[in-house]
Structure 1
Amino acid sequence: MVFWVWFLLFINGMLASLYPTTKVCKLLLISLFVFFLPSTLSAQYLFLEKIEACGNASFCMDCGDKKATCDQFTLDYICGQINRRYSFKDVNTSITFQVLVESSGFSCVLSHSDVTNSSLTSELIRYLNGNIWKAAKENGKPISASVNVMFRIANGVMSARMLRMDLSQLAPPGDPVIYNKTITYTNPSLKNYDFKVWTRYNSPLPDNIGQSAAVDKSDILWYATAKGLTRFDGEGFTPVNEFNSPFTAETPVQDITVDKDNFKWAYAYNRVYKYQDGAGWQIYDFKKFLASGVNHILNSRNGKLLFTTKDGLVVVKKDKVVLLNKKTIPQLPSSNISYAFDDSQQRLWIGTSKGTIMMDGHSIITKFNTANTPLKNMSISGATEDENGNIYFSMVDCNKVEGDNDREGIAVLKANGQWLHYNDKNSGMPANHVNTMLYDKFEHVLWIGTDQSGLVRFNLKDEWENYHNNNSAMPGFTVYQLMQDSKGDIYATTANGLTRIKKK
């Protein structure tokens, strides 16, 4: 196994040197990884709770021309037996099992996701081990393979289904791209953090790639993906599905946020949904304003919700809806809105496809395309503010320059009006393209999620640290979104799973 891992990394390095600006190396690495998957993943346990009682040490994961399976009728029978014996009132959870199905059809549970190891889980293990299974076949010959079965409890009823694996998601993420060649990242603070990673293969997470996430006032994390929405309370996941919402288990939820009243707002199926604890879900019909679709739902500090669209910025407060576009604000460079942010001075910053403006509390507008600041001909793509009133903006060049663009990076507006610009040539940033930022109010540092270079910790003075899959427990190098709960724990949605960073 070590040989194949070394071999794949060697090939990936060769390809990266030959094709540094293409996706060829990544595609070939994934192909090689999947090709050698049956041997490299022998005896791998997917879930945290391992059962080391199975005799077969060699198997592949959800593989074969015909994959190992258990009839749905049998799974329904198990659920029927369990539903007669247990009362699941007010229970919403799921347990996933990794089952080894040998070539003979003998079955044995290898691992599962129930960290409590409840009596219910023990009973389900006995049922799964005693089932009649159909072994996987490769070229007509039976082979040993592991498969996953998920049991879900919602609205007082247990149900079950086979949970097929997307093997491409198990491919190594490769190496991060670090454009900054002048900095040696010693990462002195790394030892102070515990990293915990959840994927759809070691937890009930619906998908590894998190499209959006938000933490509510009860410290519940709402995790939205293209394959479903789930809630995480710090210990376990509760699926948001047809039993407790307007969504199915696999509804692609494109964005989610939490407002100052702890209402949850989600965008799916070209509709806006609002969730209130104890009252359930409500559909909001903004079709005439949101015909072009929603890019982001953003929560402002004054209680307004901001919906960015290609036709303008939709502002909602107490069911009153206002559309801001070039017709209502001629100074806007474009009606195609990418981001919006209101700061502690009640100034509204709007990023468009053709530049950025700021409107103060007296409706006086500053156009940055004509100002000598880092925002000239740039669109803000994210923003965060510290307790001293300093504002940090991530930027995208409106001219769509390919590659590592030194005009991007982070623009800082100091409380005294001074502008700063950090990029990978004049600071410790490893790369210029930033996906997300978070000001850590507990440690008073800036966290930066990049597209290719991992997670950055900046102490706002002179120390830059860079965490990724090659030097830390981060599962990869692409970070989409960062959020923090009331205890100071930081959650990062990535291309390779959900990560929690907890101070030791």
Structure 2
Amino acid sequence: MKLMLTLLYPSKTGKLLVLTCFLVFVFPAVVCAQNLFLQKIELCSAENYCIDCGSPKATCSQFTLDQLCDRINRKYSFKDANGSLTFQVLVEPSGFSCVLSHTDVTNSPLTADIIRLLNGSLWKAAVDHGKRVASSVNVQFKIAFGRISAQMLRMDLEQMKPPGPPTIYNTSTQYTNPSLNSYEFTKWTRYDSPLPDNVSQSSAVDATDVLWYATAHGLTRFDGTTFNPVNEYNSPFTSETAVQEITVDKENAKWAYIDNGIYKCTDAGWQVYDFKKFIKSPVTHIIKSRNGELLFTTKDGMVVVRKDKVVVLNKKTIPLLPSSNVTFAYVDNRKRLWIGTSKGTILIEKDLLPTTFTTSDTPLKNASISGAAEDEQGNLYFSLISTNKAAADDDNEGIAVLRPDGTWLHLTDKNSGMPSNHVTSIMYDKFEHVLWLGTDQSGLVRYDLKNSWENYNNANSPAPGFKIYQVVQDSKGVIYVTTANGLLRIRKRGTF
């Protein structure tokens, strides 16, 4: 699959140039002797080499790369430009280098200059079992804030390996996936795009439909065309800062949990908030509620923030709370607060005593809510996590449905078309009126709320893998899926 990436940068004459790159998606089965990127250069003589192997690995010093970039910056003007280019460089045992492939389909003068400078730079060869070996490494050039910079882009070989087969516990459902061809699937990884890491467990879409993609190796924004990193040039963080959680509030402010701190990003910049005087435990989730409150879950309770007012909910303030270890919370259309904990769920309604479910005849008896969605008819859908998980496919999990009349329905892989019971993300698609579920073993699930269940994974679709972390949607209906194998975008054909 190919993706077109357009970079805009001014030339040395001041004229704005358009640099269009087609990014090729490569998941090699063996990590040796192959060109990783679409644009190949047939000048290198080595036929056998490994990819980013050895100890130590092949490298070019950061000082040398900085000098190379200084030469480029003196020649070109990058005002108002942004984007990135990646080059695969073969480093021979002698230390001589040769660019094998890159991501610029236009073969622009800028790319030609970078290739010439990379080939003429001083490199150190990889060493394997005491012997120098031929190895290819990647160098990424980023254009931002009027300058170009470069760094070695090390490859996680485990992440590069194709995912194994998904696990489907449901043996009675045949997944024909009739809706699959109505979608366009596009995927990105850190090896074929500026994505900072393949794995993201938290992402959010803001009011301008920009995706904020958080990883353990940096935060980036994606506007549908270009990835723009959040780094030391535009934030208090570096491009490698680990970002655990991110969400967007009703005022379009971005809230992130970074380095044990709570950060808020607005047009005025970044602010830091200190919640340690309320709760010392790390934040596990930041949840936006429909009434404007932000809910910060921790192992010692939940911090509720509304208009700079802070309230702490735990067993001390709510004795009926099953546990202070809060894992999820949700405010429904009736303004009822649902709180999931490690030992069960509680429902808090105005002027009523809290309702617990540990002894109830409901799907929540032996499970706690871990996610929630709601349709136009008032049906509530909760993903469940067992409070006493005894098996990889626990029948206490699945999806609990609370109908407007107060009756419950429990959907599992034994009585429905769910491929497996453990759901990692749940989202109601108001454009198609379907439910999307992410699982950690079976991929993505599409449920039409009637009888049709579809399952998309790496074995039967263009999805990059089967381990799904989060599913979010923008205002136009575009769906973004964070996985263990990269970022996936799903768009309905004919709507863009």
TM-score, length of structure 2 as denominator length: 0.89
Change (3 A) 1:119 1:413: farther
Q: Is the 8 A contact 1:256 1:265 kept in 2?
A: yes
Question: In structure 2, what is the equivalent of residue 267 of structure 1?
Answer: 257
Change in 2 beyond 3 A, CA 1:485/1:367: same
Selected match of 2:370 from 362, 381, 393? 381
Compared CA separation, residues 102 and 433, structure 1 to 2 (3 A): same
Tell me the amino acid that sits aligned with residue 219 of structure 1. Answer: D
Quote the Cα distance in structure 1 between the aligned partners of 2:336 and 2:256: 25
Q: What is the correspondence of 1:99-498 to structure 2 with a 5 Å cutoff?
A: 99-114=89-104, 118-276=108-266, 278-498=267-487
Cα distance in 2 between the residues matched to 1:471 and 1:496: 16
Structure 2, unmatched stretches of 5+, are: 1-26
| Aligned residues with identical type, % of pairs | 65
Q: Distance in 1 between matches of 2:354 and 2:48?
A: 67
User: Secondary structure of the equivalent of 1:369?
Assistant: coil
Per-residue deviation, 1:74: 2.2
- Give the counterpart letter for 2:491 in structure 1: K
Shift of 1:103: 4.2
Deviation at 1:226? Answer: 1.1
RMSD: 2.1
Q: Output the CA distance in 2 between the equivalents of 1:320 and 1:39.
A: 53
Residue identity matched to 1:212: S
Which residue does 1:25 correspond to in 2? none
Cα 1:138–1:39 shift into 2, 3 Å: farther
Give 3-state SS (helix, strand or coil) of 1:180's partner.
Answer: coil
Is the CA contact 1:356–1:377 (under 8 Å) kept in the aligned structure 2? Answer: no
Contact 1:451 1:480 in 2 (8 A): yes
Aligned mates of 2:226, 2:106 — CA distance in 1? 10
Q: CA deviation at 1:96?
A: 2.1
Give me the whole-angstrom Cα distance separating, in 2, the residues matched to 1:119 and 1:386.
Answer: 53
In 2 relative to 1, CA 363–38 (structure 1 residues): closer, same or farther, beyond 3 Å? closer
Q: For 2:412, give the aligned amino acid.
A: N
In the alignment, residue 390 of structure 1 is paired with which amino acid?
N
Q: Output one character per residue of 1:36-79: Cα deviation in whole Å (capped at 9) or x when no partner.
A: x99934443334x4224344443321113442222333211111
- Alignment partner, residue 58 of structure 2: 68
Equivalent residue for 1:81? 71
In 1: Cα distance, 2:100 partner to 2:433 partner:
44
Pairwise CA distance, 1:227: 1.3
Q: Indicate conservation of the 8 Å contact 1:259/1:299, yes or no.
A: yes
Partners of 2:29 and 2:87 in 1: CA distance:
21
Instruction: Report if the CA contact (8 A) 2:340-2:368 is conserved.
Output: yes
Paired residue type of 2:73: N
Whether the aligned pair in 1 keeps the contact of 2:29 and 2:162 (CA below 8 Å) is no
How far is the alpha carbon of 1:224 from its aligned partner? 0.8
Distance 2:377 2:351 in 1: 22
Q: Given the superposition, is the C-alpha separation of residues 307 and 389 from structure 1 closer, same or farther in structure 2, using an over 3 Å criterion?
A: same
Task: Please tell me the residue identity of whatever aligns with 1:270.
Answer: N
* Superposed CA offset, 1:334-370 (max 9, x none): 1111100011111111001111111123354222223
How many residue pairs end up in the alignment? 466
Judge which range, 383-392 or 425-434, deviates more.
383-392
Are the aligned partners of 2:28 and 2:161 in contact in 1 as well (CA < 8 Å)? no
Post-superposition CA distance 1:225-253 (Å, at most 9, x none): 11111111111211111121111221111
Q: Which has the higher strand share?
A: 2
Cα 1:217–1:367 shift into 2, 3 Å: same
Alignment partners' CA distance in 1, 2:307 and 2:479: 30
Aligned partners of 1:211 and 1:226 also within 8 Å: no
Decide whether aligned partners of structure 1 residues 105 and 268 sit closer, same or farther in structure 2, where only a CA change above 3 A counts: same
User: Per the alignment, do residues 177 and 203 of structure 1 end up closer, same or farther by CA in structure 2, a change over 3 Å counting?
Assistant: same
Q: Distance in 1 between matches of 2:104 and 2:352?
A: 55
Work out the CA distance in 2 between the residues paired with 1:186 and 1:196.
21
The one-letter code sitting in structure 1 at the alignment partner of 2:258 is A
**Distance across 2 between alignment mates of 1:384 and 1:434:** 13
Q: Which amino acid aligns with 2:471?
A: L
Q: Does structure 1 retain, via aligned residues, the 8 Å contact 2:39–2:104?
A: no
Q: Which amino acid is 1:474 matched to?
A: A
Higher mean alpha-carbon deviation, 150-159 vs 184-193, is at: 150-159
Question: What is the distance in 2 between the residues matched to 1:387 and 1:501?
Answer: 23
AA of the residue aligned to 2:39: K
Describe the shift of the 1:114–1:393 C-alpha distance in structure 2 as closer, same or farther (beyond 3 A).
Answer: farther
Classify the secondary structure of the residue corresponding to 1:75: helix
Most deviating of 355-364 and 134-143: 134-143
Aligned twin of 1:11: none
Note the C-alpha offset of 1:371.
Answer: 2.3
Distance in 2 between the 1:252 and 1:90 partners?
27
- C-alpha displacement of 1:155: 3.6
Q: Could you tell me whether the CA contact under 8 Å between 2:40 and 2:100 is conserved in 1? A: yes
After TM superposition, give the deviation of residue 87 of structure 1 in Å: 3.2
Alpha-carbon deviation of 1:141? 4.3
2:395 and 2:281 mapped to 1: Cα distance?
32
Structure showing the higher helix proportion among its residues: 1
Where 1:370 maps in the other structure, the secondary structure is coil
State the alpha-carbon separation in 1 of the partners of residues 50 and 278 from structure 2.
Answer: 50
Q: Unmatched 5+ residue regions in structure 1? A: 1-36
CA separation of 1:115/1:323 partners in 2, compared to 1, >3 Å: closer, same or farther?
farther
